[in-house]
Amino acid sequence: GVVGIRSRPDEDDFDLGAYPRWAMYNVWRAITPPPQDFPLAVCDARSIGASDEVTVTAITAELQGDIVHDTMSYVHNPAHRWYYFPDMTTDEVIVFKSGDSDSTGAVRVAHTAFTDPTCPPGVPTRASGEMRALAVFD
């Protein structure tokens, strides 16, 4: 089962290697009413092949200096099956896995936001909130 829930594990006493399995989850929510001009899309992990994944370096400019880290990206493949929810209300959320130490199933769900060409012109730009959670299993 799940070992426990912490809002922020102490860095000094937390070792992911001490657990047989961990998983990261994203919870995403629109905070502006529908329709959304820039909705989140998720890809069915079963439609992504290992050769579709590529590591890229992300650079985020911050006042204190650039944050540079590697992240996963994906090359286009017509076999990918993307889904999106253009009319999410503020009472709805999307929950998806962003990492899993158990590689026998879907390790992560590819996701992106995109400009929806079917969105009516003049709607307010979408605003959203995201939370990430780490689950460790014993």
Q: Do 19 and 95 form a contact (C-beta atoms < 8 A)?
A: no
Q: What is the mean pLDDT of each run of 10 residues along the chain (138 residues)?
A: 51 76 93 93 92 90 87 92 92 93 86 92 92 90
What is the β-pairing status of strands 82-84 and 53-60?
Answer: unpaired
3-state secondary structure of 137: strand
DSSP state at residue 52: G
**Which pLDDT score is estimated for 8?**
57
- How far apart are the C-alpha atoms of 55 and 58, rounded to whole Å? 10
pTM: 0.76
